[in-house]
Amino acid sequence: MLSRSICLAIVLAFAFGAAGGALAQQSDRPRATPGAASAQQPELDDSEKISPSQVRQPPPRAAARPVARAAPAGTTAAPGDAGSSPATGRRAGRAATARTVSCDGAFSKGSSHLQLAMVFGSENITFTQVAGPEGSRLMASVVYPKNPKQRVEVLWHNEASRVGTNLVVLNEQTTWSGPRGIRLGMPLAGLEKANGKPFRLTGFDKDGSASVVDWNGGAFEKLPGGCNLGVRLVLEAKTQQAARAAVANANQYDSKDAAMRAVSAKIAEIIFGYPQ
């Protein structure tokens, strides 16, 4: 878990500067008391109110056909999401094409748990614990929690109200991709090509993990929508011990360095962070 802690700290440093350590303390923040937020809001007519059951309502048990759902802004729809056409039926057994996360639409700075539920369907969103720094557990809204290949974790600046996007995390088995086609499993050389120039990264730690610390003015330096990009890479098993030792975590390296060129490394985690 130390490796993920480093990546989280770096992307938070991109987003918040010296306040980068705040994420690890999120779970200790006091939660707002029930009704505290609503007390500051204007009164709504009954027709304007949304109850919790409308957000968390489970899907019907006997739905005849899946309902077509438009792809949210900022994402690319996967085949099969449109539901009931014959072409969709023929695609049912195929692997879904990855969606793309961008810093707008459902994953914009001003998003919320409610917006995710409206875009992806309340049955496809849950608020639960996810892995955090140093073995901690953090609360996040998880998109497609039962489908490892479509899973996305979203952490909030206001955890109690679940509003204000803090981090959007792609990890484990997800097939979602990031800007310029970056995705889990992409090699270091591919990441450098997508950035448009070499970047700086930490050395690989004892778990074989390293994180980007500076995009050096490349394409990922500033992304449309105001989010910052953090990437964690891991060494592949085929990397020789001598090559591993040459990129130990005691130093930082340019991705173009000969020692980095000699190792086989791939993306293991992509994190989008927003300033508060």
- Evaluate if residue 31 carries a pLDDT over 70: no
Average pLDDT over residues 137-157: 97
- Evaluate if residue 171 carries a pLDDT over 90: yes
Task: Give the model's pLDDT for residue 194.
Answer: 98
Going by C-alpha positions, the residue among 109, 115, 145, 110 that lies closest to residue 130 is: 145
> Which of the pair, 140 or 71, is modelled with greater confidence?
140
> What is the pTM assigned to this prediction?
0.70
Q: 134 pLDDT band (50/70/90 cuts)?
A: confident
What strands lie across the sheet with 163-170, from one edge to the other? 125-131, 137-143, 152-158, 163-170, 265-273, 228-235, 209-214, 200-202, 252-254
- Evaluate if residue 152 carries a pLDDT over 50: yes
User: What residue type is assigned to position 182 of the chain?
Assistant: I
- pLDDT tens digits, residue range 88-121? 344 433 334 459 999 999 999 999 999 999 999 9
Average pLDDT over residues 202-206: 94
What are the contacts of 38-46 at 24+ separation with CB within 8 A? none
Task: Give the model's pLDDT for residue 249.
Answer: 83
**DSSP run (H or E) holding 259:** helix 258-261
| Average pLDDT value over all residues in the chain | 76
- pLDDT tens digits, residue range 210-245? 999 999 999 999 999 999 999 999 999 998 889 999
Q: Could you tell me if 232 and 19 are in contact, meaning their C-beta atoms sit under 8 angstroms apart?
A: no
Task: Give the model's pLDDT for residue 205.
Answer: 94
Lowest mean pLDDT among 77-86, 93-102, 118-127, 205-214: 77-86
Q: 251 pLDDT band (50/70/90 cuts)?
A: confident
Share of the chain above pLDDT 90, in %: 59
Q: Which residues, 6 or more positions from 134, have their beta carbon under 8 angstroms from its beta carbon?
A: 1, 2, 5, 24
